[in-house]
Amino acid sequence: MRTLSETILKGDAGSFVDVTVDRALSHDGTGIQALTALKEMGMDRVLRPDRTSIVYDHIVPANNSVTADLQAELRRFAIDNGIDFHDIGEGICHQVMSEGIVTPGEIVVGADSHTCTMGAFGAFATGVGASDMASIWATGETWLKVPETINIRLEGKLPRYVEAKDVALRYVGLLGAGGANYKTIEFTGDNDLGMDDRLTISNMSVESGAKAGLFYADGVTCRYLRSYGKEVAPQKREDCSYMREESIRLDDMEPLLAVPHRVDDVRPVSDFEGVQLDQVFVGTCTNGRYGDLKRFADIVRGRKVKVRTIVVPASRTVLLKAMSTGIIRDIIESGAVLCNPGCGPCLGAHQGVLADGETGLSTANRNFKNRMGVGAKYYLSSPTTAAFSALRGEITSPGDMS
């Protein structure tokens, strides 16, 4: 019997397979690199433009004339080729792809490491380099080594103030930064995790070195995709064997942090109560969805943040929903700053880079040294922990705010 990865890739773990790519994904940063590699191959066209997506999300709007020129070149290429193109303001590539585009059983390859986010739909989704993407543009195909699979069973129901981000940090801490190198993580178990929760959990699988992180498509998946007009069938789990199995009791969890400068250095928030903050950032492909923004807004509503706080919706769809329900007003009235949909300060390019010696709390997926600001420190947390901490101006365990 096969794991979900083996089923989708049609091969046993350890074997090499040639696959047709169902969805090839790039953004403004890697897309221009892929285009350069494609031209070096002597080509200027994409074989399957209907299955190729380019999303502008990393440095949007352009932060200087060099960036603007590169984006203009890639924009012309995308339009001339009839590629599925998403310009500035539409959102982060992984979130855009999750809004009714990627479906169960697909092979999704993106020129970004967090393409693994799409594994939440029961798709085999993985990241590659720009030259590999150029080859996929040219041929519509690639080759992969079928990974071995680690099973993580998520059992029970999350307590109040504990979120999917805490689950993601928990398993990354459990496995370690290299504990799943070139493995698939398969998430199973009896739980009530929703689609947004699964996207957050799959998103961070690469932080343990995993090639992909998959949930089986089930009723939750089918209902979610039906809301976008996509009818899909659930995936049946086979009685397979795994190279490693772990179990996490959701009921027993508490809010967690990743401590500078390692994603796998995971500790309870309570251990760092009182650490002074210069900035709080809520957003990214990990935690910029509507539910994330709503939890943040519900906590800060009617109150004022005590530290500069930046909120970035993951997509235009998220922003419009947040506007229609009034939570954007709550966020802005709290004193937080709202930026356009995109990656924001996550990669340290603009919209909130920290200064040397400053400390930040972020809902992003990485806290590597110098990533969000040279000489700065940043902790990773859930939006709920970020909200309570923003109101105090220091790292604060979620709880009733007096």
Does residue 164 belong to any structural domain of this protein?
yes
Does residue 398 belong to any structural domain of this protein?
no
pLDDT tens for 136-171 read: 999 999 999 999 999 999 999 999 999 999 999 999
Cβ pair 206, 118 in contact under 8 A:
no
Final residue in a domain of this structure, among 203, 221, 252: 252
Helices (H), 44-103: 65-81, 93-97
Does residue 3 belong to any structural domain of this protein?
no
User: What pLDDT, on a 0 to 100 scale, did the predictor assign at position 402?
Assistant: 59
User: What pLDDT, on a 0 to 100 scale, did the predictor assign at position 57?
Assistant: 96
Does residue 4 belong to any structural domain of this protein?
no
Burial class (CB in 10 A: 0-12, 13-18, 19+), 402: exposed
Cβ pair 237, 216 in contact under 8 A:
yes
Q: Are residues 244 and 280 in the same domain?
A: no
Q: Are residues 191 and 119 in the same domain?
A: no
Does residue 6 belong to any structural domain of this protein?
no
Cβ pair 346, 283 in contact under 8 A:
yes
Q: Are residues 132 and 157 in the same domain?
A: no
Q: Are residues 223 and 113 in the same domain?
A: no
Q: Are residues 304 and 195 in the same domain?
A: no
Does residue 281 belong to any structural domain of this protein?
yes
The single residue listed with the structure tokens 């420190």 is: 377
| Residue 19: its H or E element | strand 16-20
Q: Are residues 275 and 365 in the same domain?
A: yes
Range of the domain at 46: 17-145
Q: In 10 A of CB 40, how many CB atoms?
A: 10
Q: How far apart are the first and last CA of the chain?
A: 55
Final residue in a domain of this structure, among 252, 283, 310: 252
Final residue in a domain of this structure, among 119, 145, 171: 145
Q: How many residues are there in the chain?
A: 402
Q: Are residues 164 and 76 in the same domain?
A: no
Cβ pair 88, 118 in contact under 8 A:
no
Question: Which residues, other chains included, contact 17 with Cβ-Cβ below 8 Å and sequence gap of 6+?
Answer: 9, 10, 11, 143, 144, 145, 146
For residue 341, the domain's CATH number is: 3.30.499.10
Does residue 384 belong to any structural domain of this protein?
yes
User: What pLDDT, on a 0 to 100 scale, did the predictor assign at position 400?
Assistant: 72
Using CA atoms, how far apart are residues 290 and 327, in angstroms rounded to an integer? 10
User: What pLDDT, on a 0 to 100 scale, did the predictor assign at position 1?
Assistant: 85
Does residue 8 belong to any structural domain of this protein?
no
Which residue numbers in the chain have pLDDT < 50? none
Name the E strands within 146-261.
148-155, 183-188, 212-215, 244-249, 256-258
Using CA atoms, how far apart are residues 237 and 239, in angstroms rounded to an integer? 7
Question: Which residues, other chains included, contact 72 with Cβ-Cβ below 8 Å and sequence gap of 6+?
Answer: none
How many structural domains are present in the chain?
3
Q: Are residues 218 and 293 in the same domain?
A: no
